Amino acid sequence: MPPRFYVDATLTAGTSLPLPADAAHHARRVLRLGGGESIVLFNGRGGEYVARLASPGGAATAAIESFDPVERESPLALTLLQALVTAEKLDWIVEKAVELGVARIVIAPTRRSVVRLDADRAAKRLSHWRGIVRAACCQCGRNRLPQIDYCSSYEAQLAATPVDAHRLALLPGVGEPLQAAAGATALLIGPEGGLTDDEVALALGAGFAPVRVGPRILRTETAGLAALAAMQTLGGDFASAGA
């Protein structure tokens, strides 16, 4: 597959446009692509564009040749409600959740979260996470950007759950084994140390059903990803691909 680049602009076959600075740097300096090489552009609004790289005057310019309406989205509308954890773990969770087809990620602090963000730091981290989402879509072939949000409280995170979603909370040692999901599903994952009893009660009161994935207790950076992969296998795009 040719290298893929995200461009936040209107794309039209038969036109040319300069690549954004970050995409141009990656194409020219990292991948060392030369003029005439094939690339793929997408703007997150659906489909992708086959283009050819040109470099007139030292600027990385893409000549768009054609549009392909291909989509690689999951048939499951999956929302991951992830507790705020350390930066390295959360970067990993966001990247892999995008690869696993999640439609939305909502992050919020819980009582046992070891990280706290003021408004300024939260805005910077959200911008950083959105960059990870874009990069993950470039890598995995998705042409629509999953939404990612930050809530300042656990209660606000629960309230942000899609109203039509089937609500599941991954809680150690309790609940029924994870079953096949259909349509919109929201998955709640606690922090290192788990949710407190009060937080579990709030989740249950908000309509979340406790579920488990296997007999072992999984780390927060493993639990959500394992559950997403399981749901894709049981009734999502892994199942439809015959995996």
Span 83-133, pLDDT tens digits = 999 999 999 999 999 999 999 999 999 999 999 999 999 999 999 999 999
pLDDT tens per residue across span 4-40: 999 999 999 999 999 998 888 888 888 888 888 899 9
Q: What is the CATH number of the domain that holds 22?
A: 2.40.240.20
* pLDDT higher than threshold 60 for residue 75: yes
The answer on 62 and 139 residing in a single domain is: no
The answer on 105 and 15 residing in a single domain is: no
pLDDT tens per residue across span 179-204: 887 889 999 999 999 999 999 999 99
The answer on 51 and 170 residing in a single domain is: no
C-alpha dihedral over 72, 78, 81, 82, to 10 degrees? -40
Count of domains in the chain?
A: 2
Confidence of residue 58 (pLDDT cuts 50, 70, 90): low
Q: Tell me, what's the pLDDT at 214?
A: 86
Spatial distance between the Cα atoms of 117 and 19, rounded to a whole number of angstroms: 33
Q: What is the CATH number of the domain that holds 128?
A: 3.40.1280.10
| Rounded percentage of the chain residues whose pLDDT exceeds 70 | 96
pLDDT tens per residue across span 200-227: 999 999 999 999 998 888 999 999 999 9
Do the bridges between strand 104-108 and strand 16-18 make them parallel or antiparallel, or are there none, so unpaired? Answer: unpaired
Mean pLDDT of the chain: 93
* pLDDT higher than threshold 50 for residue 243: no
Q: Tell me, what's the pLDDT at 107?
A: 98
Q: Which domain holds residue 92?
A: 77-240
Separation of CA 86 from chain center: 17
Whether the CB-CB separation of 210 and 74 falls below 8 Å is answered with no
The answer on 90 and 194 residing in a single domain is: yes
C-alpha to C-alpha distances, 203 to 160, 171, 174, 207, 242, nearest whole angstrom: 12, 11, 14, 7, 34
The answer on 81 and 54 residing in a single domain is: no
The answer on 43 and 105 residing in a single domain is: no
The answer on 83 and 48 residing in a single domain is: no
Helix, strand, coil distribution of the chain in percent, nearest 5: 35, 25, 40
Look at the pTM and tell me if it is higher than 0.85: yes
Spatial distance between the Cα atoms of 240 and 243, rounded to a whole number of angstroms: 8
Confidence of residue 68 (pLDDT cuts 50, 70, 90): very high
C-alpha to C-alpha distances, 205 to 18, 29, 63, 154, nearest whole angstrom: 51, 53, 54, 13
Q: Tell me, what's the pLDDT at 4?
A: 96
